[in-house]
Amino acid sequence: MHRDYLIIEGGKSLKGEVLVSGSKNSSLALIFASLLSEGESLLEGVPELLDVRNAIEILKFLGAKVKKVGNSLKILPKEIGCMAPDCLVRKMRASVMLIPPLLKRKGRAVVSMPGGCAIGVRPIDQHLKYFKRAGVEVEMEGGYLLLRGKKLRGCEFTFDRITVTGTMNALMLSSCIEEETYLHNVALEPEVLDLVEVLKKMGARISLKGRSALVIGKRDLKPFKHRVIPDRIEAGTLLVAGAITKGEVVLRGAIPEHLKSVIEALRRANQEVLLEDGKIYIRGKSPIKPLSLETREFPGFPTDMQAQFMALLCVAEGRSLIRERIFENRFKHVGELLRMGARIYVKGDLAQIEGVKKLYGAEVFSTDLRASAGLVLAGLRAEGITLVKDIYHLDRGYERLEEKLKKLGAKIERETQV
């Protein structure tokens, strides 16, 4: 894990056009989905991220051939093992999506139980509940999940709570079962729908009605060719960068429908957002109006944009409220923002932000991926120099963010801590 950090001199208004990278969460799901078939799949528009590199390492460890040409991945998973490497799986919770392909290809899977992380305990009880309903035997031993799926079956299953990767796992496994599977209370994030598109290309029949999905799978799924959707969270982060620096930023390659709740919130905060010829324009305006926000499953306001908006609302004119309804511990960036002069009070899942006139540069520490992004945004606005440490968190989910911001006029440099 590298110890790079960012040095940011705040106060510059960002100006210019930036191309949004491919979606991290769609790429991860599709990289694992490629293992459902023995043939060679082609994935285009994959971002250069630590998490993506990890996922490729896991596939290679399992025996798949992976060829990376620019942002394209050619994956040939002819022969694969059934045991995921603990050291890599522990680093990335998305590895839980290895289970359906391993069950399909090998009849069994040995995967280390994903631990918690900075933002919460993040259990996978819903994933396991579906797997058992579909006929999978699940045991746990020494922190490992041992799953056996000799006779998989279609079923009717309702998620007790909406889960993105839980939905992805159920869609992947049911796509391999030649019976009807009815899933209810599914997640509808764009990354989930991108996976549905690919599973249909592979031969599964999937129809969605509200939060219910009917899946009729196929034993032999075909390989696929697919370009991942753009990353809506990177896009949202760049829009907030335009707003917080009172700049004028143009996003190329983002899909506005994926950002409805984010754009609506920016407009409520008195920021000017225009959609024109497939681009999204933002002009940061003063004052930034305070907001009441609560994070929800898509299409609600995304939890992955909460830290970024908290940075923006630190310099709003008045009191804002943010309720974090998805994760139980996703306010770790608050302590670091306080060090920059923010005035924030947290009680349970509610953060109350009293807007201040100024933020001041400080040395701050990243605690998780999106908190790291929030601190970078605060640094772009703050007076003076901000050091954002431990940005391996940032590199998990952003493709050279500092390069993109620099091209927009930010005074930002990456330093490597020796």
Binding interface with ligand EPZ (CB under 6 A): 24-25, 28, 93-94, 120, 122-127, 161, 163-166, 303-304, 326-327, 369-370, 397
225: β partners: 42
DSSP 255: -
DSSP 12: P
Task: Say how far apart CA 385 and CA 388 lie, in whole Å.
Answer: 10
Rounded to a whole number of angstroms, the minimum distance from the CB of residue 409 to ligand EPZ is 26
Task: Say how far apart CA 370 and CA 1 lie, in whole Å.
Answer: 18
Question: What residues act catalytically?
Answer: 117
Task: Say how far apart CA 46 and CA 42 lie, in whole Å.
Answer: 10
Q: Given the complex with ligand EPZ, which of 178 and 257 has the nearer CB atom?
A: 257
**E strand or H helix at 98, and its extent?**
none
Q: Given the complex with ligand EPZ, which of 125 and 413 has the nearer CB atom?
A: 125
Rounded to a whole number of angstroms, the minimum distance from the CB of residue 396 to ligand EPZ is 8
Rounded to a whole number of angstroms, the minimum distance from the CB of residue 137 to ligand EPZ is 18
**Residue count of the chain:** 418
DSSP 288: P
Q: Are 281 and 304 in contact (CB under 8 A)?
A: no
Rounded to a whole number of angstroms, the minimum distance from the CB of residue 367 to ligand EPZ is 12
Q: Given the complex with ligand EPZ, which of 26 and 245 has the nearer CB atom?
A: 26
Rounded to a whole number of angstroms, the minimum distance from the CB of residue 87 to ligand EPZ is 18
Q: Given the complex with ligand EPZ, which of 393 and 414 has the nearer CB atom?
A: 393
Q: Residue 30 is encoded by which pair of tokens? A: 């599709």
Rounded to a whole number of angstroms, the minimum distance from the CB of residue 362 to ligand EPZ is 24
Number of H-type helices and E-type strands within the chain: 14, 23
Q: Given the complex with ligand EPZ, which of 123 and 287 has the nearer CB atom?
A: 123
Rounded to a whole number of angstroms, the minimum distance from the CB of residue 185 to ligand EPZ is 12
Tell me the DSSP string of 171-239.
HHHHTTSSSEEEEES----HHHHHHHHHHHHTT-EEEEETTEEEEE--SSPPP-EEEPPB-HHHHHHHH
Indicate the pairing of strand 292-294 with strand 108-112: unpaired
Strand order in the sheet with 212-216: 156-158, 180-184, 212-216, 205-209
Nearest to 413 by CA among 381, 383, 382, 388: 388
Q: Given the complex with ligand EPZ, which of 132 and 411 has the nearer CB atom?
A: 132
Q: Given the complex with ligand EPZ, which of 104 and 330 has the nearer CB atom?
A: 330
